[in-house]
Structure 1
Amino acid sequence: MRALMITAPGEAAVHDVDPPVAAPGEVVVDVERAGICGTDAEFYSGHMAYLRSGHARFPMRIGHEWMGTVATAGQGVDPAWIGRRVMGDTMLGCSTCRRCRRGAQHVCEDRQEVGIRGHRHGALAEQVTVPASSLHHLPDTLDPALGALVEPGGNALRAVQGARLSPGDRVLIMGPGTIGLLCALFARAAGAEVHVLGLPGPGLDFARTLGLENLWTQETLPDLPLDAIIDAATSSELPGWALSRVEPGGRLVLIGLAGEPSRIDARDLVLGDVTAVGVLSASPALEETIALYAAGTVDPRPLIAATIGLDQVADVLADTRPPGAGPGPKIHIDPRRH
């Protein structure tokens, strides 16, 4: 089969590799749609932290936002999975440690992450192999594009849940990228008054096309009481700034990661009685995300700028947008395209 492989920083190409075989407890999935994430670009640039920690190494087969149809099932897997449309949890815990037994496999110390950690091959390929226990069924009526947006959507939904928004609450979302805009859509669906902070330019311009009206830069943000702030940006300075702006008794949710350490003043946290929440993965919110997409409560498909084949992925990782791409932040891949 064909698979996208990163062999060194700045070096990515499609390779012919042996088709996968399902081990006991696993399934092979025919990948129908997959997304490119900022983490994938970090692997391509060589800056991803797991490359330094030893949790990942080249060659890498990336891709963790995906959907497809189960083709084969290994020993011990219910054959009813075969032929079903699915997406899968990125985080694969060891299943035996205390964290896994408590339902927190996404923070298991020995976890694999599909296409990211533990040399578990990713889904920028014609097929991917994953444990059956990681699968989530997708309704037959759900658009493939939505299926591949469940994983990033689950991250955003968890961030919004961490903000504990009630109808009418005012929330500021920092960073109009894929996760930030998904947060805005989920927060709006929850009845919150949504404000988005970003740099002047295409990100905020695109946010306006989604019907988001309260768009600001740090310089233009009015002096409004903010019940919650969600940091989906990549600036090391923003968490501390956000803590100084959130209302006393409010909530600060951190889902964006900066390349440098971020610092906050714990005195602001304590004296403001602010609750700070960190969000690592989509795992606990995948089923709810599927349900909200299926019900039409949130439709993030406008975020997709283009759907390309595997042969164009290396250019996208090198920060070249596909010809004819729209203004959205997300690029999708159909591995069957040549």
Structure 2
Amino acid sequence: MRDIAPPVPGPGEVVVDVERCGVCGTDVEFFTGEMAYLHSGEAAYPIRLGHEWAGRVASVGDGVDPSWIGRRVTGDTMLGCGRCRRCVSGRQHLCADRHEIGIRNGWPGALAEQLPVPVGALVPLGDPDPTRGAAGELDPTRGALVEPGGNALRAVRGAALSPGQRLLVLGPGTIGLLVGLIAASQRIEVHLLGKAAPTVNFARDVGFTHVWDRPPEGTFDAVVDATNDRAMPGFALDAVEPGGRVVYIGLSGEPSLVDSRRLVLTDVTAVGVLSASGALADTAARYADGGVDPAPLVAATVGLDEVADVLAGQRRPEWGAAPKVHVNPRG
């Protein structure tokens, strides 16, 4: 850890007092040096990590409505230039010149007491009506799970299933479990496939009934690959029903091989998901109305002094098998 000067909001920006920040697999890859952006030049050390966060707006810059001050918010990780054709068409998460909070092109992340954010990236986590106080406001734990939940929601949308259809989710980590929870809330029949006994058992503990530790028989109307296993993209094609959809949201550390002949000859649609952009507000609403509760996925909340241990994969036995660790930078 190092002490730095508090951020000052620039024009069109706010500064947020961070209440919670989730530790993500991307953060671990930065810690180990495996993150692809480090090798492509899109990121460089030193970098302040943290892109799954919730907090309260502490101050605003020029041109920002002061009514934001005091509101609990989260925000989009992807900060486009705002000028290119991708940004103008609403695809700022694909902007070639984008910043990614805590990840790309040097924008500082939320593993700190305060975080600067463009106001256009903010997502409110509470009722803006001052007469209702904190009515409907998400707590920091659920607020910091909106970003991974938005990724999961986009994956469920990519699967394009109807109630009663069957979905196979590969990998019961944070994203895989959130995919399962969101899909189940839409009355989709969810199956989860994992390897490690603790994660498989945890999936059962949070209410999933179709959990497998070996490939199940038959095919599925859609498959979501939420793993970092290079063999799973190819397996997903074998597991999907002809005419179905495969959604790829996990990334392996090395190239994965997919037989395009199988893709074509079974008329399968393949969908890639990058980021939660476009799904954050809807995810927050699902959490707020109780349709999906992500809180059981958090194993523990620690302080900044324990972040290095968490990034190195150290977990206390009493935390159990829940996949997510949160950080309270102000605790």
Native 8 Å contact 1:231 1:254 kept in 2: yes
Quote the residue 1:334 is aligned against: 328
- Counterpart residue number, 2:293: 299
Establish whether residue 314 from structure 1 lines up as the match of residue 308 from structure 2: yes
Q: Structure 1 pair 77/322, CA: closer, same or farther in 2 (3 Å)?
A: farther
The match for 1:180 is 176
Please say if 1:124 is aligned against 2:118. no
Is the aligned partner of 1:18 residue 2:12? no
> Which residue pairs with 2:83 in the alignment?
96
CA distance in 1, matches of 2:46, 2:278: 30
Q: Are positions 1:249 and 2:243 aligned together? A: yes
Equivalent residue pairs, number:
322
Cross-structure match for 2:131: none
- Structure 1 equivalent of residue 192 of structure 2: 196
Give the equivalent residue in structure 1 for 2:99: 112
**Cα distance in structure 2, aligned partners of 1:336 and 1:74:** 23
- 1:31 and 2:3 correspond: no
- CA deviations on 1:72-103 (whole Å, 9 max, x unpaired) are 10111111111111101000000000000000
Other structure's SS at 1:176 match: coil
The 1-side partners of 2:57 and 2:239 are apart by 47
1:99, 1:36 → 2: CA distance? Answer: 29
Matched AA of 2:178 = L
Deviation string 1:51-73 (CA, Å, 9 cap, x unpaired) is: 11111110110000001010110
Structure 2: runs of 5+ lacking an equivalent: 127-133
Structure 1 segment 228-243 matched on structure 2, within 5 A: 228-243=222-237
The structural deviation recorded for 1:323 is 6.1
Alpha-carbon distance, 1:200 to partner: 3.6
**Paired residues of 1:66 and 1:147 also in contact (CA < 8 A):** yes
1:144 CA displacement: 1.2
Q: What's the CA shift for 1:271?
A: 1.0
Q: 1:336 & 1:67 partners in 2: Cα distance?
A: 12
What is the rounded CA distance, in whole Å, between the counterparts of 1:138 and 1:245 in structure 2? 38
Cross-structure match for 2:31 = 44
Aligned counterparts of 2:239 and 2:71: Cα–Cα separation in 1? 47
The separation in 2 between residues aligned to 1:326 and 1:19, in whole angstroms, is: 36
Amino acid paired to 2:72: R
Q: In 1, distance between residues paired with 2:213 and 2:264?
A: 27
Question: What residue ranges of structure 1 are gaps of 5+ in the alignment?
Answer: 1-13
Q: CA deviation digits over 1:107-154, x for unaligned, max 9? A: 100000000001000000000001011001111331210000000000
Task: Give the AA of the match of 1:325.
Answer: W
Contact 1:60 1:121 in 2 (8 A): yes
Deviations 1:143-185 (A, max 9, x none): 2100000000000010011000110000000001100010010
Indicate the percent of aligned positions where both proteins have the same amino acid: 61
Corresponding residue number in structure 1 for 2:219: 225
Aligned-pair RMSD on alpha carbons? 0.9
2:17 and 2:56 in contact (8 A); partners too: yes
Q: Is the 8 A contact 2:200 2:213 kept in 1?
A: no
Could you tell me which amino acid in structure 2 is paired with residue 212 of structure 1?
F
Distance 2:46 2:156 in 1: 35
1:326 Cα offset (Å) = 3.1
The within-5 A match list for 1:148-187 is: 148-187=144-183
2:123 is paired with a residue whose SS is strand
| Contact 1:195-1:216 within 8 A present in 2 as well | yes
Contact 2:197–2:213, Cα closer than 8 Å, also in 1? no
SS at match of 2:250: coil
* Preserved CA contact (<8 Å) 1:153 1:182: yes
Q: Which residue is 1:267 aligned to?
A: 261
Give the match's secondary structure for 1:59.
coil
TM superposition outliers: structure 1 runs of 4+ over 6 Å: none
How far the C-alpha of 1:232 sits from its partner, in A, is 0.1
Say if 2:275 is the partner of 1:288.
no
Output the CA distance in 1 between the equivalents of 2:310 and 2:71: 30
Corresponding residue of 1:206? 202
